[in-house]
Structure 1
């Protein structure tokens, strides 16, 4: 996959026309976005699991299903 295609995939849209980056810079930006999203997802899941600790134990299974964990 080309760097431009990789960046478009990460952005979910075509990159802005005024974006002037080299092939290496474009790939690096795509990789940084991918890493940031993975980190953000992991942190969000960890915070949701931590928040479940205040839910009474008998309700945790139901709450997990509701929030999608």
Structure 2
């Protein structure tokens, strides 16, 4: 996959027309976006798990299913 195609995949759309980066920089930007999304997802899951600690124990299983954990 080319760097431009990888960036378009990460953005979910074609990059802006005014964006003029080298092939290496475009690939690096795509990799940075991918890593940022992975880290954000991990932080979100950790915060949801931490928030479940205030839910009464008998309800935690149901709440986990509702929030998708």
After TM superposition, the score normalised by the length of structure 1 is 0.99
Cα RMSD (Å): 0.2
Q: Give runs of ≥4 in structure 1 deviating > 4 Å.
A: none
- Residues 1-69 of structure 1 aligned to structure 2 (within 5 Å): 1-69=1-69
- CA–CA distance in 2 between the matches of 1:55 and 1:68? 15
Q: TM-score, normalised by structure 2?
A: 0.99
Unmatched 5+ residue regions in structure 2?
none
Shift of 1:4: 0.1
CA distance in 2, matches of 1:14, 1:22: 16
